[in-house]
Amino acid sequence: MRPVTALSASPKKAAARAPSRAGRSLQKGQQTRAVILEAALGLASHMGLEGLSIGALADVTGMSKSGVFAHFGSREELQIAVVTEYHARFEEEVFFTAIREPRGLPRLRAMFERWVRRVSVEVDSGCIYISGAVEFDDRPGPVRDALVGMVKAWHAALHKAIELSVQEQHLRADADVDQIVFELHGLILSLHHDARFMRSPGALARAGVGFERVIHFYASPLGLEIDQARKSPKNGATRR
């Protein structure tokens, strides 16, 4: 058998090293993209999706325009990536924490309260869903489609939570699910407008009062009892 020389063995070593180099390169590329996306989210929150540009991101990140362009081939692709990332963070902060609550009013209340909490944090920056709706309401295209899709997904989650509240008999059987979604979203829009634009100090409290009125209007006696019990500080199952 012909002995294996150093020269004949080197291609095997090179092949073994290649996946490692490729893996490190891929990881570095993902990290760079994450840095750019984080900066893009910050810009979009303050300036809107239309304020995003490859040049602006290059300035913020200290990268070249070609470097940014390599990760996002176009301004439109960048805008869609920002919308997608914003939605993922919204889901993580609002939806996935709320669904740990029991089905029915406890879960619905948790979803609304976390939604309000997020809006209150975004008062100084801005909500991409809301600002994006203003920017793209009459502009058809992929960015508008992405925004609409994300908002519809959230509405569908609310719709499901309300339906489960009806099934659990926490809300009346004749509760108008679409109307409740409409009213809850309306409260959020009013909160954002009054807190961000009008700088009204009572906006958060008014949003809370509005939610209580919606719930009390549609709640069943059982639902009111369960809701009150979870809000009571004397109850061991007090809502967090």
- The C-alpha atoms of residue 194 and residue 191 are separated, in whole angstroms, by 5
> What number of other Cβ atoms are within 10 A of residue 104's Cβ?
22
Structural domain range at position 179? 76-231
Task: Give the tens place of pLDDT for each residue, 49-86.
Answer: 998 888 888 998 999 988 888 888 889 999 999 999 99
- The C-alpha atoms of residue 88 and residue 194 are separated, in whole angstroms, by 26
Task: Give the tens place of pLDDT for each residue, 177-204.
Answer: 999 999 999 999 999 999 999 999 999 9
- Residues 166, 175 contacting (CB under 8 angstroms): yes
Return the CATH number at 190. Answer: 1.10.357.10
Locus of tokens 């300035």: 59
50 belongs to a structural domain: no
122 belongs to a structural domain: yes
Task: Give the tens place of pLDDT for each residue, 115-165.
Answer: 999 999 998 888 999 999 999 999 999 999 999 999 999 999 999 999 999
127 belongs to a structural domain: yes
Average pLDDT over residues 11-30: 61
Print burial letters for 40-71: b (CB count within 10 Å at least 16), e (below 16).
bbebbbeebbbebbbeebbebbebeeeebbeb
Is the Cα torsion angle 157, 163, 165, 168 positive or negative in sign? negative
**Residue 1, pLDDT above cutoff 60:** no
Task: Give the tens place of pLDDT for each residue, 85-104.
Answer: 999 999 999 999 999 999 99
- The C-alpha atoms of residue 218 and residue 170 are separated, in whole angstroms, by 9
- Which pLDDT score, from 0 to 100, does residue 28 have? 75
Which DSSP state fits 123? G
- The C-alpha atoms of residue 206 and residue 16 are separated, in whole angstroms, by 63
DSSP string, 187-237: HHHHHHIIIIIS--TTHHHHHHHHHHHHHHHHB-HHHHHHHHHHH-TTSTT
Chain centre distance of CA 121: 13
Which DSSP state fits 49? G
The total of structural domains in the chain comes to 1
Average pLDDT over residues 205-214: 97
- Which pLDDT score, from 0 to 100, does residue 7 have? 44
**Residue 11, pLDDT above cutoff 90:** no
27 belongs to a structural domain: no
186 belongs to a structural domain: yes
Average pLDDT over residues 12-21: 56
- Which pLDDT score, from 0 to 100, does residue 149 have? 97
125 belongs to a structural domain: yes
- The C-alpha atoms of residue 40 and residue 75 are separated, in whole angstroms, by 11
| pLDDT band of 15, cuts 50, 70, 90 | low
- Residues 144, 131 contacting (CB under 8 angstroms): no
For residue 17, CA distances in Å to 12, 20, 27, 207 come to: 9, 5, 16, 59
DSSP three-state, residue 53: coil
4 belongs to a structural domain: no
Stated pTM of the model: 0.82
65 belongs to a structural domain: no
